[in-house]
Amino acid sequence: MAEKKQIQAKSKRTLRACCDVYEDDGNIILRLEMPGVTKDKLDIKIDGNELTIHGARQEITETGNILMKEIYEGDFYQKYVIDDTIDRSKINASLEKGLLTVTLGIKESEKPRKINVVAK
């Protein structure tokens, strides 16, 4: 039986997390898939109009002969440009069951409001 030879490149791959963005209850919500990521491997920063999410998915070491590999480990880095309607002091993040939820509070002055009509 012929010996099977494999060549593997050891380059660092930057991953991109799948993200949903929606508006709910006066907030913009970012929800990102983060399976295998722990809180201590996340770094979320706001700098001016840029929200940056950086982290790392834990390396998984397999002991057997890999026949197919679709789950990648390594660093991920995503940047979002936000406008001045976001209140920088009302940005929160939580990680639960592999989902990172980042809540961006909209400034009160930017939220829609009902205008009452006065009859004369």
What is the pLDDT confidence band of residue 9, given thresholds at 50, 70 and 90? Answer: very low
Q: Which domains does the chain have, with CATH numbers?
A: 19-59+70-109 (2.60.40.790)
Note the pLDDT of residue 10: 43
Q: For residues 31 and 21, what is the distance between their CA atoms, to the nearest angstrom?
A: 6
pTM for the model: 0.74
Is pLDDT of 29 > 80?
A: yes
Q: For residues 82 and 51, what is the distance between their CA atoms, to the nearest angstrom?
A: 7
Note the pLDDT of residue 5: 42
Residue count of the chain, please give it.
120
- Give percent of the chain with pLDDT exceeding 70: 88
DSSP structure string for the chain:
-PPP----------B---EEEEEETTEEEEEEE-TT--GGGEEEEEETTEEEEEEEEPP----S--S------EEEEEEEE--TTEEEEEEEEEEETTEEEEEEEEPGGGS--PPPPPP-
Note the pLDDT of residue 8: 44
